Structure 1
Amino acid sequence: MVDSLRMAIIALSFALLWMGLTFCQASSLGLTVHVVPIQNDGGQSVRAHFTTIASNPCPPLTGLCTEGVNCTLHRAYEPFSGIKPSLGWCVRQWEQVLPSNYQKTISFNSDTTFYVSMKAAPHLRVNSGKLNHPPYVALPPPMRARMNCPHHIHLSVKDLDGDKVRCRFAEEKQGECLNCSPHSFIELNEDSCMLTFTGNAKLGPYSIYLMAEDYIPTPKVSQTSDRQPLSSVPVQLSFTVEQSTSSCADEPIATLRTPREHATFYALPFEDVKFDVDFMSQKESVTEIAVVGQPGLLKYGFTSTDGMSRLSMSWVRGENTLPRALPICFVANTVTLQSEPRCIWLYQREIKTLPHGTELICNKTEMTLILPIGSLSNINLDELQLNSAACPINFNETHLTARIALDGCGTKTVHIGTELVYTNTLKSVHPSSLIRRQPSLIFPLACRFPAVQARSPNFNIKIPTNAFDNAAVRLEFYNPGEGPMAKYTRNPQFNPLEPILAQLDSSPARHIRAVQGQLGSRIKDLDLHLISNTTLARAEISIQRCMESETADFTQSYIFLEDGCKSARSTKEIVASSNVRIFRLRLADLFPVGIMMYVKCEVDLCITFLPSEKCSKQCNQALGRGGTPTMLSKHFTVRSEPISLVRTRTTTSMSVVTNEAGQTEAGQTEATTSAPVEVVIGTSSAPEQAFSMAMGLTLILISIFLQHICFP
């Protein structure tokens, strides 16, 4: 027994050493900084918009800066994340006012650091008299390549001033990076910002450090090599070389339905931009479409069947301090393959303020526009119309007026945070057969209502009805403070739960079982996790009931959760993220006898009509406020395999149980899969304990050694 334990711990030590070295090499998986000069101080300061990619476990944003006027942390409802490569990754985003020339090492925690060097000193442009804008570079998800499979990687760049953007390797001697020598297997075309992987690299993760620079365009005949850039901003990329197990041409390929590379979508205020990305993969099924996007980007409806995969995305332009040009990059990952990264851009149109004297009156059923005609110089009033040409626009010698129905005239409805926004547009519509020199007009119109005031009959959230088609719910058990949600269960915050009054201490079966004796060393507490894989914002897990039984057929069962109510004081809900419900069960009270239990839960995934409503059932209350129905729901029944309630062995494992889906709004299905089920902790003999303590000290020393390797 001692020999087998010794070999297991030695193997674990080497595994930890290898994992630690991997973290050292790839804890920073990418960074871009989009710089916007601040006009008030002549560009001496800039608003720097950071997008970074960090290895899992996803680091917190706390400690980066003090939130306020000069700093905003973008806490995503569900961060952009991925499972490939290695242990997975997540995106962290924030914006901060900084000096235009800036160098600093930024730390999320002891495992994740980024060195940032940017040179964006103010430059007043001769052609416009405005401050220069440094270039923007889109950050792709962590890139994967295969040994001996050369390919190109085109970085997507934009410059708001129309300057020429060039990319070069960062230079350590200029203070642009730390330990950043270029790799021999990566070539760079500086003029086109194109990377070329030669294929001649060893397996493992690598980092690529670049600087993107903007130059005033000049004719080719007059270009010289000593031109100085207007600004320089950092770009850091991750690149993992993996083993090649198939042809180099087997990567997933984007279909024609996917927006083309570098495509630009223009967005007016409160406009909803939607698009789909599709990939075809003949060799392996796509396991994820990884995305690095913008705050507020919604991803939903991922499917992967018969070699075809799809993901839908939507972004609503609300009030924000984000740059005008916003990149979204995505790749399709399989187990061993990755598609070429593709990036598109959202462009926030600059809109002038409404002329003096303009009124937009928002009522419950319509908005009324009053616009002085004197402000519309050189505009043909006969060509003006709303989203729907059927709605009239009236004007006289002084004013233009329009009454715009909230449920007609082409008015659109979007949700931004907790607000409901009705939008329409007053614009010039020219006959398509004519070439016009006359200016055009575009006036976006919006009426905004807090969710609690939005009570008209036309405020449905626009979410596709197939949003839950690939959703799943799984049921898992963990010891307190362990498992993927340990950050919630280690130092838990509890939600109050009311008891099920009709059943509290009144079940005959419970009284019969309570008088029986204990068997073995029993586990005191377990955490029950109900976890959904949905990425749909505002989706909630609503629990109908959870029950336990000593037998798999549940012929005799006991309900310990129903409509958010609990059966005893020993059931507590732990505050967690919206796609997870966690309950701490005190087994001595809930399951006083027996050595095994089975658990079955009936739950719904749902979304409400109003952002102010909740679809998770509260104890002794109807669903939502006043019985408001959910807009979309799907029913699931999840079962566990037998869960051991006694401590009999020296290993610790968890019960992983099934997830299965029923039909939307209607019937349901049920299934179960096999999985390890023991949750047991035991004791060992004295020699084993002594050896474990010695190896524990060894692991501590290895940990200290790794810290010095990663952060000397």
Structure 2
Amino acid sequence: MRRKFKLSLLLLGLTLVLFGPACEASSLGLTVHVVPLDSDGGNTVRAHFTAIAPSPCPSLSGLCSAEEDCLVHTTSLPFNGTKPSPGWCVHRWQKTVPSNYKATINLGSNTEMYVSMNAGPKVRANSGRLNQPAYVGLPPPLRVRANCPHHFDLSVKDLDGDRVTCRFARPDDEECHSCTRHSFIELNEEKCMLTFTGNAPVGQYFIYLMAEDHIPAPKISHIQDNKPLSSVPVHLSLTVEESAYSCTDEALATGDTPKEDTTLFVLPYQEVQFNTDFTSQRESVLEVAVVGPPELYRVGFKSIGPLAAMTMAWIRSENKLPRLLPICFAAETKSLQSEPRCVWLYQREMRTLPDGTVLTCEKTAMTLVMPVASLRDINLEELQLNSPTCPVTHNSTHLTATISLTGCGTKAVHSGLELVYTNTLQSVRPYTMVSRKPSLVLPLACRIPGVQAKGPQYKLGMPTERDTFGEVRMWLELHMPGEGPLAEFTRIPRFRALRMAQGRVRREAESPSESNSTSTSTYDSEAIGSRITKLDLYVMSDCSIARAEMMVINCTESETEDFAVSYPIMEQGCSSSESTLEVVTTQTNSKVYRLDLSSVKTKGSRMYVQCTVNLCITTLPSQKCPSLCTSSVESRMLVNSLLTSSSTIRSGPVSLVVTTPAPTTTAVITTTMTATFTPAPATATTAANTSNSHAPEQASSMAAGVILTTIGVFLQVILLY
């Protein structure tokens, strides 16, 4: 019997190995952008690798040898993410290799990749130039949920305007090793669209593709032999997770988020910037995962309730990167991922300046002198700088312009250790004018070494949380209706529904037990030992800034102090059921909620309450902080707001039955909102000295709050110019 049992365990283990999810040490994603080199007719190429490795992030010390034309791209702002666990990071490097290339690449000791590509050389008949292989944007590691079908459109581009298709890599052609085809992954080759059918066990899987470019052919043509011009590898990872949510509950891109495949054209030393906004009704966004070019700024990430926003910017300096640069991103929550989206940066090719052109950089201005003969067929009257108020003059031989570094539309950007002042001389025509004549776009730049770059343009900072809000304490209190520091609003309350039927609001507001309440609670007459039916939850702060607004994100209740099992009271700023109503007050820095205890999950004699909260101040007095529980909420409202870190505060034990009167002193645990958020020691405070420590008579030990965790700091130093 024992032998049979061991044999069955062995067979079970073999079954899991053969049919379970892939588990080999592979990258979580890989693309190769190939640039053929004219110097040897395209027989060698400069291959730009982008790879996603699982955490811990491996070292690349052995990736390039001394005799190779190889460069590892470093960045001061690493690309990494926490989902899927245990996290990941992005590495970029370039290497000159043969156009037909096969190799096994090791990133550290735990990530191995086999790379195969066929990049020519091919000379195009229509232009006489070397063919440029297709570009594919690499998304963050893909996440799906079991039993939830999902489509993924890969973002592809081609500099030659060719048609791009995608297919599975073929092990028989040595395009991949151990590349199992998964029955639950389907591929539309013409659209480069992956489909997850949903029929897969929880686990992590790897997908190996080849992207190919084809000479475009008319739809009516029936060309049978339209062979690809090149094939480049695309590796993806897919993590299948369990989830209790609907298949349509993932975060959605909203607001100013660029559309999929948007192309932004970038001149030398130009800064491009765009915003990403997301709405996630089920879970708050933990991070915006990004895979992009070196030195891509990601700043101002904010996530409050269902809203999230982040700004990305890139400054084109002198670089050895390919002309097309994808930025692919997705919003990540605990169990969900938004649809990945890619934006493309196109580094415009610039011709060399004509002989005789001189740009002189001085302390306060730059001076441009150009020979008119080099501007053949250009209408000189149409030429302007960024600001048309600065004149551009010309005579029969030369064009001249004196360009102020602090005017004329000149912009200052930070490129590496240099401060660069930029302007553009370009042809400007009326919108109603259509012309076939050539136009001029000439970027101008003066570079100042970092040791000389001083002043307010070099570094821009945001105020710290302490500077904005001061020393702030936040805590929870629970009181009987009509009692507590805001009793004037709770005796005869006006309610604000949080996703509830209006009929329920009227019944609550018109209830005799509510409207007839006086300063002495009507529940005082209830028998000792009977269960309390209603309580008021006070979410309090002592912030003295008049425009500060309290934002309550989530609240939960539990029978135990460790919240091992908890139930929602509020989620994403909205009531989880009709048992919670907001009491309207004139206080903006605190909130009050009426809890109907008959519908709480806790059935014992006491409970604990925990809330996640923020304070918000708008940048302009005329603006409003986001109201999370409305249909018109927009992520862009976060950009116009200064926020504290999200903080979790807890109550002490809350009695749910009528007891003897509470003692005249109550322990109050407080925390000041400092940079480290270290809880202050507990102190005993008498009710006579501070009203916010008073507990209701029927429910003792209800005034206690301590900031437990810091979810994210939203006020941060920004290095954008």
TM-score range, shorter chain: 0.5 to 0.7
Instruction: Give the Cα–Cα distance (whole angstroms) in 1 for the partners of residues 359 and 249 of structure 2.
Output: 56
Q: Give the AA of the match of 1:42.
A: G
Instruction: Give the Cα–Cα distance (whole angstroms) in 2 for the partners of residues 136 and 464 of structure 1.
Output: 38
Structure 1 residue 215: Cα displacement: 0.4
Q: Larger Cα Rg: Structure 1 or Structure 2?
A: 2
Instruction: Give the Cα–Cα distance (whole angstroms) in 1 for the partners of residues 446 and 67 of structure 2.
Output: 27
Q: Indicate if the aligned counterparts of 2:22 and 2:205 stay in contact, CA closer than 8 A.
A: no
Structure 1 residue 236: Cα displacement: 0.2
- What's 1:192 paired with? 191
Please report the TM-score for the alignment, with normalisation by the length of structure 1: 0.63
C-alpha spacing 1:24/1:181, structure 2 compared with 1 (3 Å) = closer
Aligned pairs for 1:65-84 (under 5 A) are 65-66=64-65, 70-84=69-83
Structure 1 residue 202: Cα displacement: 1.0
- What's 2:259 paired with? 260
Q: Give the AA of the match of 1:161.
A: D
Structure 1 residue 77: Cα displacement: 1.8
Aligned pairs for 1:483-632 (under 5 A) are none
Q: Give the AA of the match of 1:288.
A: E
Deviations 1:1-42 (A, max 9, x none): xxxxxxxxxxxxx9xx99xx9994464100000000111111
Structure 1 residue 288: Cα displacement: 0.9
Task: Say yes or no: does 1:206 pair with 2:224.
Answer: no
Q: Give the AA of the match of 1:459.
A: Q
Q: Give the AA of the match of 2:178.
A: N
Structure 1 residue 662: Cα displacement: 4.9
Deviations 1:500-558 (A, max 9, x none): xxxxxxxxxxxxxxxxxxxxxxxxxxxxxxxxxxxxxxxxxxxxxxxxxxxxxxxxxxx
- What's 2:452 paired with? 453
Structure 1 residue 460: Cα displacement: 3.2
Q: Indicate if the aligned counterparts of 2:60 and 2:108 stay in contact, CA closer than 8 A.
A: no
Task: Say yes or no: does 1:418 pair with 2:450.
Answer: no
Instruction: Give the Cα–Cα distance (whole angstroms) in 2 for the partners of residues 118 and 186 of structure 1.
Output: 23
- SS at structure 2 position matched to 1:28: coil
Deviations 1:453-500 (A, max 9, x none): 234x56333566689999xxxxxxxxxxxxxxxxxxxxxxxxxxxxxx
- SS at structure 1 position matched to 2:434: coil
What percent identity do the matched residue pairs reach? Answer: 57
Deviations 1:352-397 (A, max 9, x none): 1111110000011110000000000111111100000000111000
Q: Indicate if the aligned counterparts of 1:26 and 1:238 stay in contact, CA closer than 8 A.
A: no
Deviations 1:558-603 (A, max 9, x none): xxxxxxxxxxxxxxxxxxxxxxxxxxxxxxxxxxxxxxxxxxxxxx
Task: Say yes or no: does 1:98 pair with 2:97.
Answer: yes
C-alpha spacing 1:381/1:674, structure 2 compared with 1 (3 Å) = closer
Instruction: Give the Cα–Cα distance (whole angstroms) in 2 for the partners of residues 407 and 139 of structure 1.
Output: 39
- What's 1:522 paired with? none
Q: Indicate if the aligned counterparts of 2:209 and 2:234 stay in contact, CA closer than 8 A.
A: yes
C-alpha spacing 1:383/1:142, structure 2 compared with 1 (3 Å) = same
Instruction: Give the Cα–Cα distance (whole angstroms) in 2 for the partners of residues 114 and 198 of structure 1.
Output: 26
Aligned pairs for 1:238-317 (under 5 A) are 238-317=237-316
Q: Which runs of 4+ in 1 moved over 6 A?
A: 463-470, 633-636, 673-676
Instruction: Give the Cα–Cα distance (whole angstroms) in 2 for the partners of residues 416 and 659 of structure 1.
Output: 41
- SS at structure 2 position matched to 1:451: coil
C-alpha spacing 1:351/1:112, structure 2 compared with 1 (3 Å) = same
Instruction: Give the Cα–Cα distance (whole angstroms) in 2 for the partners of residues 66 and 359 of structure 1.
Output: 41
Q: Indicate if the aligned counterparts of 1:25 and 1:205 stay in contact, CA closer than 8 A.
A: no
C-alpha spacing 1:660/1:220, structure 2 compared with 1 (3 Å) = farther
C-alpha spacing 1:69/1:421, structure 2 compared with 1 (3 Å) = farther
Structure 1 residue 71: Cα displacement: 1.0
C-alpha spacing 1:467/1:358, structure 2 compared with 1 (3 Å) = farther
Structure 1 residue 436: Cα displacement: 1.2
Q: Which runs of 5+ in 2 are unaligned?
A: 1-12, 469-641, 648-669, 681-705, 710-721
Q: Indicate if the aligned counterparts of 1:411 and 1:424 stay in contact, CA closer than 8 A.
A: yes
Aligned pairs for 1:293-442 (under 5 A) are 293-442=292-441
Q: Indicate if the aligned counterparts of 1:391 and 1:409 stay in contact, CA closer than 8 A.
A: yes
Q: Give the AA of the match of 1:74.
A: H
Instruction: Give the Cα–Cα distance (whole angstroms) in 2 for the partners of residues 238 and 319 of structure 1.
Output: 33
Structure 1 residue 267: Cα displacement: 0.5
Instruction: Give the Cα–Cα distance (whole angstroms) in 2 for the partners of residues 468 and 179 of structure 1.
Output: 55
Structure 1 residue 306: Cα displacement: 2.2
Q: Give the AA of the match of 1:404.
A: I
C-alpha spacing 1:351/1:114, structure 2 compared with 1 (3 Å) = same
C-alpha spacing 1:331/1:52, structure 2 compared with 1 (3 Å) = same
- SS at structure 1 position matched to 2:451: helix
Instruction: Give the Cα–Cα distance (whole angstroms) in 1 for the partners of residues 461 and 136 of structure 2.
Output: 31
Structure 1 residue 78: Cα displacement: 3.3
Q: Which moved more, 1:50-59 or 1:220-229?
A: 220-229
Instruction: Give the Cα–Cα distance (whole angstroms) in 2 for the partners of residues 292 and 241 of structure 1.
Output: 21
Instruction: Give the Cα–Cα distance (whole angstroms) in 2 for the partners of residues 375 and 67 of structure 1.
Output: 44
- SS at structure 1 position matched to 2:220: helix
Please report the TM-score for the alignment, with normalisation by the length of structure 2: 0.62
Structure 1 residue 67: Cα displacement: 6.1
C-alpha spacing 1:178/1:303, structure 2 compared with 1 (3 Å) = same
Instruction: Give the Cα–Cα distance (whole angstroms) in 2 for the partners of residues 175 and 233 of structure 1.
Output: 13
- What's 1:45 paired with? 44
Structure 1 residue 85: Cα displacement: 0.6
Instruction: Give the Cα–Cα distance (whole angstroms) in 2 for the partners of residues 195 and 73 of structure 1.
Output: 31
Task: Say yes or no: does 1:165 pair with 2:164.
Answer: yes
Q: Indicate if the aligned counterparts of 1:301 and 1:468 stay in contact, CA closer than 8 A.
A: no
Deviations 1:258-293 (A, max 9, x none): 000000111100001111111100011111110011
- What's 2:110 paired with? 111
Instruction: Give the Cα–Cα distance (whole angstroms) in 1 for the partners of residues 240 and 464 of structure 2.
Output: 36
Instruction: Give the Cα–Cα distance (whole angstroms) in 1 for the partners of residues 287 and 57 of structure 2.
Output: 18
Deviations 1:400-428 (A, max 9, x none): 00000111110000111111100000000
- What's 2:35 paired with? 36
- SS at structure 2 position matched to 1:173: helix
Structure 1 residue 197: Cα displacement: 0.8
Deviations 1:592-634 (A, max 9, x none): xxxxxxxxxxxxxxxxxxxxxxxxxxxxxxxxxxxxxxxxx99
Instruction: Give the Cα–Cα distance (whole angstroms) in 2 for the partners of residues 339 and 266 of structure 1.
Output: 26
Q: Indicate if the aligned counterparts of 2:77 and 2:296 stay in contact, CA closer than 8 A.
A: no
Q: Indicate if the aligned counterparts of 1:141 and 1:329 stay in contact, CA closer than 8 A.
A: yes
- What's 1:3 paired with? none
Structure 1 residue 221: Cα displacement: 2.5
- SS at structure 2 position matched to 1:221: coil
C-alpha spacing 1:452/1:142, structure 2 compared with 1 (3 Å) = same
C-alpha spacing 1:635/1:180, structure 2 compared with 1 (3 Å) = closer
- What's 2:561 paired with? none
- SS at structure 1 position matched to 2:430: coil
Instruction: Give the Cα–Cα distance (whole angstroms) in 2 for the partners of residues 659 and 370 of structure 1.
Output: 63
- SS at structure 1 position matched to 2:172: helix
C-alpha spacing 1:634/1:288, structure 2 compared with 1 (3 Å) = closer
- SS at structure 2 position matched to 1:382: helix
Task: Say yes or no: does 1:229 pair with 2:247.
Answer: no
Instruction: Give the Cα–Cα distance (whole angstroms) in 2 for the partners of residues 123 and 41 of structure 1.
Output: 12
C-alpha spacing 1:333/1:231, structure 2 compared with 1 (3 Å) = same
CA RMSD of aligned residues (A): 3.0
